[in-house]
Chains A and B, each alone.
Chain A
Amino acid sequence: MLQFLIRRLIGAVVIMFLIGAFTFFLFYTVPQDFAALSCGKNCSPENLAVIRENLGLDKPITTQFWEFMSGIVSGRDFPQGHCSAPCLGVSFDSGNFVWDSIVDRFPLTLSLTVGGLVIFLTLGLGSGLLAAWKRGTVVDKLVSGASIVLSSFQIYLLGPIVLGILVYSSGIMENPKYHPFTENPGTWALGLLIPWVVMATIFTAQYTRMSRSTMIEQLQEEHVRTARAKGMSQRYVFFRYAWRGSLIPIVTILGIDLSALLAGAVVTEFTFDLPGLGRLAVDSSLTKDLPLTMGIMLFGAFFILILNIIVDLAYAYIDPRVRLS
């Protein structure tokens, strides 16, 4: 198992390097003079040269690449000062270190993800299991019907409706706002409650349907019938035998969803006007702030890789056949 982990971690580092290289060269092949973009209206050739030098764009592209990559590992020095590792460069637009901008925005994104996750996992899996247990009954039909309706909703539709009801017309709640968890967990949760619930609604529906269908599939497995033939109770068979098999597809989808959310929940952030990573990413690409875009991409790729490894470990834990092959 340890060997597997080490192998995967080395693989992850290599993939990170490749992603870094790929995005770097992809962006720099764009026929666009980034210095001209930052130069503004009254741009003289002298100004342009200064900017170019400041941004490091006057150096050969291989040197730029080397500086970028080594900066991630060991930090870099800029005219603004030392950028410590992991240094993702300096934003063209704001002149801030990219890493600092990401770190500044990440807590909100993390909070959105964690809160939403707790809600949609609990509700989604819970209602899915309930529907599978009560298959064919009114309960099942209600849950299945509701999940289909809810999954066809969109955050940008549901969000304003909920805001309209709870905030603007009745004033029961305040506009969603991020308060750091470390300051006051209560206000933190209250401030993000509406985005959590709205975001989780969409995901819940998806997890309800998935857990219901995989459970029903698993309950028809022959080994589940064998367990019943041994005299094990319906409940035991449901939670020990069928549930275990259902975990694999659930964990797979969860890994994908989580890594997407951690890289920024763009729609949710825009709907509720929350400054998270997703908005930062969109803004950076609109202003053609290349280092910032690349930094966020790499940051997101990091989560995808880490979650991939965690999902693989989970597979091995769930299914012994994966463990040994």
Chain B
Amino acid sequence: MTTLTKTEGEKAPTGPDSFLSVRDLRVRFSTEDGIVKAVDGLSFDVERGKTLGIVGESGSGKSVTNLTVLGLHNPKSSTVEGEILLEGQDLVTASEKEMEKLRGNKVAMIFQDPLTALSPYYTVGRQIAEPYMKHTGASKKEARARAIEMLTKVGIPQPKTRVDDYPHQFSGGMRQRAMIAMALVCDPDLLIADEPTTALDVTVQAQILDLLKDLQQEFGSAIIFITHDLGVISDMADDLLVMYSGRAVERGSVREVLREPKHPYTWGLLSSMPRLGGDTDQALNPIPGSPPSLLNPPSGCPFHPRCAFTDQVSGDRCSTERPALGEGRAAACHLTAEQKQTIFFDTIQPRLR
């Protein structure tokens, strides 16, 4: 709490293995109604071979952050400040040419809906082969062989014939596999998966998650896994970042955060999640209210209008002072460590059974 200084953002430790390091990232869109602060002082690190999970409601800035990492935000309507360091190279200041060399090559992305994210006009094989040809200079024939190899790797049956199919001839799960094949075709060091299983049914979802884990072991890539599904995140991620209103509100290892969450927003997320084997008479506890407007974010802590525990903080600090996120395992909240512990074990945890 002592780092509450002029930079509103928070500092996270830069580990020695830190492969991607985002520092005080701010993304703003100018719209007709004013400036939208989609990401507002976000910092995080991803290590090689590890998976960082990012959770949060829609509009919390998860997707914008990761599109910005790839430089896919609209440069005309948005401004980006801060640093995105990929192995020391700053992506915020990188030229479009340099970004093109990185995209699909060193950093690749898996999108949420594989039906709309794959072009209906070209064969799956061609779409997988394209980035391979572009980044490795392979011939058409080599790239086709590579596409077949990738389809085999992601478990598409009869890859030699399916390579010439169009996306609409694939099932939902197969399309997502093809998408993963496309993302992995150049052995990226960093893979950004933006809700890759949200559009799929649970059995397919489990297969895709297994596939991603296997491929991570094989390639040693770092993964940023964006989702709003805490069940999926506990299965996939090593570290967890909880985002709210364009900022990180809680950070830690997945075990720590899910075992003993420290931020009222994380409590809310956990309480609103239905559980298998849960008591059917026990009502779910959704977070009251709706996500804040990014045009006029609330003063102080952005979560305070929806927070049930503001009365336990002395004075009106919640509405006047933005809590900082400390280093390492931390939550951006004005409650004291003891208060958090008491509230969690007395009030929140019993609800989660």
Chain A residues in the interface with B (C-beta under 8 A): 136, 221-234, 240-241, 244-245, 318-321, 324
Contacts and interface: CB of A to CB of B under 8 A. Distances in A.
Interface string B174-189: 0000010010000000
Contacts of B117: 222-223, 225-226
B70 interface: yes
Contacts of B134: 230-232
Contacts of B72: 225, 228-229
Interface of A is mostly: helix
Contact of B116 (A221, A230, A231, A234): A221
A222 B121 contact: no
A223 B109 CA distance: 12
Given A230-B131, A230-B182, A318 B101 contact: no
Interface in B177-218: 179, 182
Interface of B: 70, 72, 76, 96, 100-105, 108-109, 111, 113, 116-122, 127, 130-131, 134-135, 166, 168-169, 179, 182
Contacts of A230: 103-104, 108, 127, 130-131, 134, 182
Contacts of B109: 226, 229
A241 B130 CA distance: 12
Nearest to A240: B122
Contacts of B113: 222
Contacts of A233: 100
Contact of B131 (A232, A245, A324): A232
A229 B119 contact: no
Contact of A226 (B111, B121, B169): B111
B121 A245 contact: yes
Given A221-B116, A226-B111, A321 B168 contact: yes
B4 to A, nearest CB: 37
Contacts, number: 75
What 5 A-B pairs are tightest by C-beta distance, nearest first?
Answer: A231-B104, A230-B104, A231-B103, A230-B131, A223-B119
B111 A321 contact: no
Contacts of A227: 119, 127, 130
A321 B100 contact: no
Nearest to A135: B76
B110 to A, nearest CB: 9
A229 B104 contact: yes
Nearest to B118: A223
Contacts of A223: 116-120
B69 to A, nearest CB: 11
A320 B103 contact: no
Given A230-B104, A231-B104, A232-B131, A319 B111 contact: no
Contacts of B118: 223, 226
Given A222-B111, A229-B108, A232-B131, A319 B101 contact: no
Contacts of B122: 240
A240 B127 CA distance: 11
A320 B121 contact: yes
Contacts of B104: 229-232
Contacts of A319: 120-121
A305 B1 CA distance: 76
Contacts of A320: 120-121, 166, 168
12 contacts: A136-B76, A222-B117, A223-B118, A226-B111, A228-B103, A229-B109, A232-B100, A232-B130, A241-B121, A245-B121, A318-B121, A321-B120
A225 B135 CA distance: 18
A227 B108 CA distance: 11
Contacts of B100: 231-233
B135 A231 contact: yes
Given A226-B117, A231-B104, A320-B168, 19 more contacts: A223-B116, A223-B120, A224-B119, A226-B119, A226-B182, A229-B108, A229-B109, A230-B104, A230-B130, A230-B131, A230-B134, A230-B182, A231-B101, A231-B131, A232-B100, A244-B121, A319-B121, A321-B120, A324-B169
Contacts of A231: 100-105, 131, 134-135
A17 to B, nearest CB: 37
Nearest to B186: A231
Contacts of A234: 96
B25 to A, nearest CB: 19
A315 to B, nearest CB: 12
**Residue of A222, A228, A231, A319 ringed by the most chain B CB atoms within 10 A:** A231
A193 to B, nearest CB: 38
Contacts of B119: 223-224, 226-227, 241, 244
A132 B182 CA distance: 28
Contacts of A232: 100, 104, 130-131, 134
A240 B119 CA distance: 10
A234 B101 CA distance: 13
A229 B121 contact: no
A27 to B, nearest CB: 46
A245 B119 CA distance: 9
